[in-house]
Structure 1
Amino acid sequence: MRLLPFIYIFIFGVVLTVALQFLEQPFWLIYIVIIVVYVVLLVLPPIYTVYKSNDLKKIERFLEKNKRKPIFTYALAVKTGNREEIISAIQLILSKYKQPYMQQVYKTILALFENNITRVEQLSTQISKEPLHTYYIAYAEALKGNFEDAHSLKGKLATDWMPYALDAIIAKEKGDLSAFRIAAEESINLARGVQKFNLVYSFEWMEKEMEN
């Protein structure tokens, strides 16, 4: 991570502190203002990039700077489309994050990349939180060819990009490239941050698989 922006922010904080002291502001006010400034300048930008940014280049730069974190390593692996790299990144996540929900979700994702549909079906039911619980159950139904069952679960997916992502998966399993492209584009348009990055490149290699 680059040090220069932090130096600038620190200098700005010092200057602001001196200015507020010169204006004879109370210590508690100076303290609150400095904390707010540091939060806005240091904490909010990366949070915005991870969850809200629409700029893929900016998101990728952030991922590269933070690729020592397994979840971001996974996102970069998805871009490569290399199944072995993706599986390795997921295994790294599973080894580092022991929280039950993380284990449930990433074991399910691992089963997807291992093409183990039976295990995807089994693990998806164990995911403890919505909307991923329903999303991966529907995903498993689509992979089994139970398209009506998968489609019937769309109404339970409250996250905007998920219904269209599910439509794309169903279209892929049906071999309908045109429908896949339309649904994938809608899903990508509605997603933000690292999720958008993952979808862009996931759909990219899915489309290549359909064309081959």
Structure 2
Amino acid sequence: MWKQYLCAVLVGVVFAIFELPFWMAVVLLLIITLWIIGEFLYLVYGTTNMKKVEKFIIAKQKEPIYRYVYSQGFGTLQDQLIAIDKILQKYKQPHIHQYYLAIQQLLSDNFDEALKVANQIGKEPFMSYTKALILVEMGNIEEAKSFKFEKLWMHEAIFAMIAAKKKDKVSFDLHSSKAIAASRGIQRLSLIYSFKALEI
């Protein structure tokens, strides 16, 4: 994104030197701003270029959520728990706070507490997805399979986790590949890291 910032600075310099109309500078700076925002949103939510996303999260590790994703790929379980602690300190919105608290409890094998917290997320599809993940770890496979998801990656991710629980490598490879293919941006990278960490 440094190119867009450089463009904005150059626009300011050129307009100052040549004393061009102020309104033209405003229009050009607005276009550059929209370009910066658009590229950021595409990188976070839309791209399938994982090299760019990985480079982005490595550069943004001071932000707790990106630090958590980074720790999924390059850190230990303890690193993930520490990153989640930082998220919980920073984000007080109920659904975000409860989601990461449930994940923290899940990673700590506190399944009953994780499920209790997941029931308080209150925002779909994250509540159902989190509950399904926890239920898989608890061995309640049929209940986990009962959830319906509009997002294909969520459906496939749950079935990949079920396959991992059953040590069914063929099914795991199939569903994890489908989940990754159906996801974009940081979510795709998070899934790649999560699935890679599983030993089937």
Please, what TM-score do these two structures have when normalized by structure 1?
Answer: 0.85
Partner of 1:126: 120
Partner of 2:164: 172
Cα displacement string for residues 7-58 of structure 1 (whole angstroms, at most 9, x for unaligned residues): 333214554798994xx7xx65653443123221x22212211111111110
Q: Percent identity over the alignment? A: 30
The within-5 A match list for 1:96-107 is 96-107=90-101
RMSD (Å) for aligned C-alpha atoms: 2.3
Partner of 2:79: 85
In structure 2, distance between residues paired with 1:46 and 1:20: 31
Please, what TM-score do these two structures have when normalized by structure 2?
Answer: 0.89
Cα displacement string for residues 174-206 of structure 1 (whole angstroms, at most 9, x for unaligned residues): 121211111001000111111111000100001
Partner of 1:61: 55
Q: Which of 179, 189, 198 in structure 1 is aligned with 2:181?
A: 189
Q: Which of 160, 185, 195 in structure 2 is aligned with 1:203?
A: 195
Cα displacement string for residues 50-99 of structure 1 (whole angstroms, at most 9, x for unaligned residues): 11111111001111221111111111000025101111111111111122
In structure 2, distance between residues paired with 1:97 and 1:140: 22
The within-5 A match list for 1:141-156 is 141-153=135-147, 155=148
Alignment: residue pair count = 200
Q: Check the 8 A contact 2:42/2:185 in 1, yes or no.
A: yes
The within-5 A match list for 1:2-151 is 6-12=5-11, 15=14, 21=20, 31-40=26-35, 42-80=36-74, 82-151=76-145
Give unmatched runs, 5+ long, in structure 2: none
In structure 2, distance between residues paired with 1:127 and 1:135: 11
User: Counterpart amino acid of 1:36?
Assistant: I
Give unmatched runs, 5+ long, in structure 1: none
In structure 2, distance between residues paired with 1:62 and 1:135: 26
In structure 2, distance between residues paired with 1:32 and 1:161: 39
Cα displacement string for residues 126-184 of structure 1 (whole angstroms, at most 9, x for unaligned residues): 1110001111122222222221211111x2x1222100000011111112121111100
Q: Check the 8 A contact 1:20/1:30 in 2, yes or no.
A: no
In structure 1, distance between residues paired with 2:134 and 2:5: 46
